[in-house]
Amino acid sequence: MTTPYPMHHWTLSVSSTAASAAFYAVFGFEPAYRWEAPDGSLAITHLTRGDGLILELFEYAANRGRGPAELQPGNDLEQPGVKHVAFRVSDLTAAAASFRELDCGPLTDIEQGRTGISYFFVADPDGNWVEIVQDDRDLSSLPRPD
């Protein structure tokens, strides 16, 4: 079944477009478009991947050089609101080793989630936690919620 609403983009406000673009390049994103306010107060950059997904970065001049947010892994899951984005890999252990080798941000340990997937988090330059998951489940064979 094809959804009438395929995902188009997600947006982050960042302190440095360059640092965020370098971090998200690991996930296959490349700079594709940039707009800048004439007064330099805002720059918007679109990073794209081969599957068409866009990551939109808002860099406000007032946020340049700010330190990373101090968020708990998953981005404070107990509070309502958007929490994190997740990327799927086929070998979680190899992915964790790769992130450690790249030294691109703090990593959590690999854990087994309550929903049956294994995961770890890596923090982007602004302190947002990005989840890396290995999901080998067949959701079609699991009980559906009522």
What type of residue is 12? Answer: L
Considering the domain architecture, whether residues 114 and 85 belong to the same structural domain is answered as: yes
Q: How many domains, in total, are found in the chain?
A: 2
Considering the domain architecture, whether residues 76 and 50 belong to the same structural domain is answered as: no
pLDDT bin (cut points 50, 70, 90) of residue 146 is low
pLDDT tens for each residue of 56-82: 999 999 998 888 888 777 767 777 777
pLDDT bin (cut points 50, 70, 90) of residue 33 is very high
pTM here? Answer: 0.86
Q: What is the mean pLDDT of the chain?
A: 89
Task: Answer whether residue 98 shows pLDDT above 90.
Answer: yes
Considering the domain architecture, whether residues 79 and 134 belong to the same structural domain is answered as: yes
Residue 144 within a domain = no
Residue 145 within a domain = no
